[in-house]
Structure 1
């Protein structure tokens, strides 16, 4: 179904397009759009909006615009010639032209933001704006009555036959009052300066940041005519300062800094503006400069608690960025949400891999187990509150959910439109081009407090989309079953979100990783899960690797690469010998999982009567019998294979029937299984859960004393450090107690 109204009708039994038009007396969307009939288009828009409100944002419900024309980078308004609605040509991107008009309806969003624009001749056109960040308030960004400019408009026919302007990059649709110099609009002397400032203040109180920017800008432009008047200069100062605050609220730190500098040029010691400049520098991660400005403000006006708090935070983050010392214990123990943290880059370098896989991240000194070597805040994230829409979702083959990917694209574009400092860093990531893969960016580009050369790099939507496809991370790496127990999930990660991180994007995958990733809010913490030697490549798991080789191979293919680690080479060699076990694993895994979950729901105590789990565990018994035939295989290599089938063992130990039939049956002990997984994926949270359970189990049966308890406690402590990094002893013990309550399978 290509028509929007027909899709809505199919989903909720609403009237079709023709029927709706007949009942309302309106022409079809196609006819109304071809005549640029404002009245009819407004009524159709409102009808669509009501239908959408009834349906909700369900997948596939959208103004179907077919395939978008390749997106051109956003260009400056200066030099573009205006074009009227009636002069738009179907199927054309109007290069060098700009469409001015007024938004004449309240917007609504399906896959794109839908609105209407009326030009100064009274003709209207539908506008579909894509890649708009989810967090944005549409009524504030695209309010009815706002004057806008659409740069180089792309005019096309949608699948329902109607005509519309498609805006691929939201930065190509700009509120005119934001850029008075570029559009060369004359300043109207009759503007009441105090009234404009009051309107700006009212918008500010309502948290209508975009509206506040409009009115403060009008005030600044009009006041320039009276620049020699002391009262007018004071109004300009206050307008610059207040506009800086609105831009801080919008996350536009570079523009906020510009406004602060303009205001301080009028009155260098203005306290509020100094305070706001310090916060703008903080937002740009220029922590040392922020400290200088905030210290200056505090000396001019002591006992201002908000300035003291901002200075304290900037000092703390400056220290974090230099020393790499963080206290995240309250977050790990579930006591409070994650606090803001600074980026930290340890002794690392980007260089080409020796086996021609492209670029990678390498250690420039030895790194000990548990040592933190990289903290990176996300460029943009899709948050778990909107998980069904926002998070990068992968199916069992590792394919990325397209709709969620597009929402992340929107969030990254939003961040890029706000920061020229970001774009050179963003464009250093792999976008699939030969040039990107062959170039090695300098590490200084990614250092905090580095004054990157800010060039006017255009925001290229298609290039950003390619970067996200190749570099985006989902939430914390999920297990094969997409389930980590609720307690571990709460403690170990803020699972559910997806996002784009800069330096971590250079880290390659390995099924024998040496690094653990920990998500703390929007920041990614990376520490060594085993000793890393100087010159060794940093590696992580892109997905759950505690599964047999065929499953890993399929997921790697979906990601577009082949893992050539020692473990994969070994299991590829063993593939013919293990083929029957691979098939049984695939057939029994989900059945055993369903049985175990049903037992948990019923409140059964483990071990329980779980025949499917016991049958699944037989796969592990057969694996041991097969491995015994390879007498020349090293024990470490056997452990890699055991780790691939470990979920069969974990399922089996929850069943009453999982016992060797004779003393000679080759069933490894729990400690041997733990060592097998640790030698393969040392930072996997399930190794910690298993170790913690062993400690609590031994304490229950033999008490707190004895060598066995001490040995298990040491194993659990080591596992905690591999998973969560180095922390105080009280934190480690609290984490051990919490994870002992988690389920393995």
Structure 2
């Protein structure tokens, strides 16, 4: 009896300390304290009966919450399960387990957990609300149907839309050059979401307005903090670590295995969590992976939430890391909160590689070659080969040199359009050449004075925009030119439909028409940012 009283006093003392740690959000010490409390209770044996079981249930549940806060999701899940062994109907543990499962993208399992909570506690509104969210995410994860219309129409509120992990009709395959890439498994229309995924870690900051030193220091601090967070997550979660190890560390990709796409689907979480983690993450290997695979949020991805110009964001998104570059990209990515959404930027055929632009592709081939060398590769896509051919290479370089040397924009555009008629350029190839001098087209379509000089000598903006989009996918700058002409009364219902198609190719099929039209009115787009 004396021992039981002594244990009770110790438990009360530890709980009092735990409250202080909770208020300070000192999760590391909080976890250590509850680990000590659990050890004391277990050492007491089963003689203490129901009271001890209640204490152990609550201790494991509270430690689960702390582990959840520190992103040790596997540990949090184990603690929730242990708590529920002591009391299968413990509401806090059921809710905490459901939240952990949601963060692990196990939507169906989270739903089952919440159904148990509702059955045991019919009056609990939190369980019902979370179950609705869970069902919505599960449906989204299975079908890839995303709708952020309310968020856009509401002016991009502080709370980002709820997005589920989704892997659409894509697979990882070996490319013809020996590297690994993503490929479409069926025909898909422009705008179709292909991948929706949350960052392993995302880091963000505001750079100083002045160029030079302060900005560079801010970038270095952001990168240092980002790397530390990735290493912390990798150490705590065997699932994340094993998926990071699937990415290229920058060595010859021909030596790397081609992982099964199923590993990146939510259903694979349980399988990956069961894998034993390495004794310690290979820090050198992870740093190489980060150097090769990190994506910048502001680098040629669609931005629809109006970030300020000196904003910087960086993150590691696992499956999008397999996307290779093309100067005729078939997909675009955009970022909403910590999620990256990759959608088809033009119609895709089954078996076609899904590619994105690593740099500005609305530019001449020599400029693109310079950019690709900074990325340590030389692009040999269909567009580059066409523009560098013996027939078109010299002509385009001469035209680009004249434009940079002071030739008027309207002369450059009319010269290219006349040349394409003489050279009998057809279809997508017209879009390739127009994309290479797009700044000239944008200047002409943005000026009434220049348009008057080009009347009946160049196609209307919507026709050229469709041509460019077919060649290089949707782009805000191309969309801006079409909307600018429509704003000046140069469009009708048919032109609006073309703008809507271009909008879907640019932003994806993730919003209703009303939201798309609202997006068309944003200063973000009208200023061409």
Residue 570 of structure 1: CA displacement? 2.1
Residue among 715, 718, 727 paired with 2:498: 715
Judged with a 3 Å threshold, the aligned counterparts in structure 2 of structure 1 residues 670 and 688 are, in CA distance, closer, same or farther, namely closer
1:14-163 map, 5 Å: none
Deviations 1:32-91 (A, max 9, x none): xxxxxxxxxxxxxxxxxxxxxxxxxxxxxxxxxxxxxxxxxxxxxxxxxxxxxxxxxxxx
RMSD, aligned α-carbons: 3.3
Give me the whole-angstrom Cα distance separating, in 1, the residues matched to 2:226 and 2:281. Answer: 15
Deviations 1:111-144 (A, max 9, x none): xxxxxxxxxxxxxxxxxxxxxxxxxxxxxxxxxx
Deviations 1:321-367 (A, max 9, x none): 112122211233334332231111112211111x2141111111111
Instruction: Name the SS of the counterpart of 2:35 in structure 1.
Output: helix
Q: Which moved more, 1:676-685 or 1:282-291?
A: 676-685
1:329 aligns with 2:149: yes
Instruction: Name the SS of the counterpart of 1:367 in structure 2.
Output: coil
1:360 aligns with 2:181: yes
Give me the whole-angstrom Cα distance separating, in 2, the residues matched to 1:516 and 1:656. Answer: 31
1:535 aligns with 2:351: yes
Give me the whole-angstrom Cα distance separating, in 2, the residues matched to 1:266 and 1:663. Answer: 80
Answer whether contact 1:369 1:721 (CA < 8 A) is retained.
yes
TM-score, normalising length: structure 1? 0.62
Residue 210 of structure 1: CA displacement? 2.2
Query: In structure 2, what is the equivalent of residue 51 of structure 1?
Result: none
Note the residue ranges of structure 1 that are not aligned, 5 or more in a row.
1-187, 390-394, 396-400, 589-614, 700-707
Instruction: Name the SS of the counterpart of 1:272 in structure 2.
Output: helix
Answer whether contact 2:414 2:454 (CA < 8 A) is retained.
no
1:736 aligns with 2:529: no
Note the residue ranges of structure 2 that are not aligned, 5 or more in a row.
1-5, 210-214
Answer whether contact 1:696 1:740 (CA < 8 A) is retained.
no
Residue 641 of structure 1: CA displacement? 1.8
Greater relative CO (CA pairs within 8 A, separation 6+): 2
Residue 427 of structure 1: CA displacement? 0.8
Residue among 110, 125, 128 paired with 1:305: 125
Judged with a 3 Å threshold, the aligned counterparts in structure 2 of structure 1 residues 686 and 311 are, in CA distance, closer, same or farther, namely same
Answer whether contact 2:201 2:230 (CA < 8 A) is retained.
yes
Residue among 408, 425, 441 paired with 2:259: 441
Judged with a 3 Å threshold, the aligned counterparts in structure 2 of structure 1 residues 521 and 531 are, in CA distance, closer, same or farther, namely same
Residue 672 of structure 1: CA displacement? 4.4
1:639 aligns with 2:431: yes
Instruction: Name the SS of the counterpart of 1:538 in structure 2.
Output: strand
Query: In structure 2, what is the equivalent of residue 678 of structure 1?
Result: 469
Query: In structure 2, what is the equivalent of residue 317 of structure 1?
Result: 137
Query: In structure 2, what is the equivalent of residue 346 of structure 1?
Result: 168
Query: In structure 1, what is the equivalent of residue 54 of structure 2?
Result: 234
Residue 730 of structure 1: CA displacement? 2.2
Query: In structure 2, what is the equivalent of residue 544 of structure 1?
Result: 360
Instruction: Name the SS of the counterpart of 1:561 in structure 2.
Output: coil
Residue 538 of structure 1: CA displacement? 1.0
The answer to which structure has the higher helix fraction is: 2
Give me the whole-angstrom Cα distance separating, in 2, the residues matched to 1:618 and 1:696. Answer: 21
Instruction: Name the SS of the counterpart of 1:302 in structure 2.
Output: coil
Judged with a 3 Å threshold, the aligned counterparts in structure 2 of structure 1 residues 696 and 657 are, in CA distance, closer, same or farther, namely closer
1:611-630 map, 5 Å: 617=409, 620-621=412-413, 624=416, 627=419
1:474 aligns with 2:296: yes
TM-score, normalising length: structure 2? 0.86
Deviations 1:646-678 (A, max 9, x none): 1133235556763676879x5554344323422
Answer whether contact 2:250 2:288 (CA < 8 A) is retained.
yes
Give me the whole-angstrom Cα distance separating, in 2, the residues matched to 1:242 and 1:538. Answer: 45
Query: In structure 2, what is the equivalent of residue 35 of structure 1?
Result: none
Residue among 409, 417, 426 paired with 2:227: 409
